[in-house]
Structure 1
Amino acid sequence: MGEFWPVPDVLAYLAGTWRAERSVRDLASGDEGRFTGTTAFASLDGGGLLHTETGTFVWRGVARPAERTLRFLPGQAPGTADVSFADGRPFHGLDLSSGRHIADHPCAADLYRGEFTVRDADHWRTVWRVRGPAKDLVLTTDYTRAH
């Protein structure tokens, strides 16, 4: 088996529930945080998946509930997805046919660069590097399929 696990259909692969563990490192301050929770990908009417993440985020010793919602819609090419925020603004494309994908998302003066890697049928990871005038972060999330 190679370093990456090819996924011919990203929406079919992601469908279901995943345990999510994220580390957040602020490279400027040295602060570190951790998110633990669940990411569910549920079918949307008309195709695609609704991504709902819920859990607890601990930052500087303070635990808070955290959640976010994204939409994963069928992309232009078969097996790919277009990811958007809950309000419909575009976020990034996603093509895991090689088992790996790099996505860029400019946000105001910051640049988010995400690397998506698939290890096998039940494990994938995202690493977002955020650089800008006020941000210098690395967010690493490991996803494990919930059975």
Structure 2
Amino acid sequence: MGFSLKLADFAGVWQIDREIRGFDGKLHGEFSGQAVFSEVSSGLSYVEAGTLLSNGTRMQAERRYLWRGAPQERKIDVRFDDGRAFHEIDLATPEHAPQARHFCDPDTYVVTYDFRNWPEWVARWRVTGPRKSYVMVSRYSRAD
């Protein structure tokens, strides 16, 4: 299998289905919503909105990021919406499940991306530390 992805391939509307499970068995959450990747001067604006059901409580949830890329580097620089660095996605070999790490003192976030079934893809987060301890799996599929 050999394919290449670039930042522009993510533009558009995506359906998200997410499951969150605590390692201690106490946390269980499900999220359903959409992520919209819109062009901005510095890359793509990522706006995610939907419904989160967590341990029996239903609420509206939203998050925002900025995805920036450099075609020659084959990487996506993911930033928080305030511009702080979050992590990088290495698209040089997307079939090899790129990984990234983010340390948010005192917890560590490790993400593995799976693009093998593009345009469906998965982001699998493993969060460990004294404050947080869970796995979050987000499945994306085209909605537009």
Tell me whether the two structures share a fold, i.e. TM-score over 0.5: yes
2:55 maps to 1:55: no
3-state SS of 1:12 partner: helix
TM-score (norm 2): 0.91
Equivalent position of 1:27 in the other structure: 23
Alpha carbons of 1:76 and 1:110: their partners in 2 closer, same or farther (altered >3 Å)?
Answer: farther
Could you list the runs of 4 or more consecutive aligned residues of structure 1 that deviate by over 4 angstroms after TM superposition? none
Once the two structures are TM-superposed, the CA of residue 79 in structure 1 deviates from its matched residue by 3.0
CA distance in 2, matches of 1:135, 1:110: 7
Is contact 1:7-1:13 (8 Å) kept? no
Equivalent position of 1:71 in the other structure: 66
CA distance in 2, matches of 1:39, 1:7: 22
CA distance in 2, matches of 1:145, 1:60: 28
- Percent identity of the aligned residues? 33
Q: Which runs of 5+ in 1 are unaligned?
A: none
Alpha carbons of 1:93 and 1:103: their partners in 2 closer, same or farther (altered >3 Å)?
Answer: same
- Pairs within 5 Å for 1:1-147: 2=1, 6-9=3-6, 11-45=7-41, 47-75=42-70, 77-99=72-94, 100-147=97-144
CA distance in 1, matches of 2:74, 2:40: 16
CA distance in 1, matches of 2:58, 2:68: 32
- String of CA shifts for 1:97-126, please: whole Å, max 9, x gaps: 312210000001100000011033320000
Is contact 1:118-1:125 (8 Å) kept? yes
Aligned residue-pair number? 142
3-state SS of 2:30 partner: strand
CA distance in 1, matches of 2:58, 2:136: 17
Is contact 2:20-2:134 (8 Å) kept? yes
Q: Which runs of 5+ in 2 are unaligned?
A: none
Is contact 1:18-1:144 (8 Å) kept? yes
Alpha carbons of 1:38 and 1:59: their partners in 2 closer, same or farther (altered >3 Å)?
Answer: same
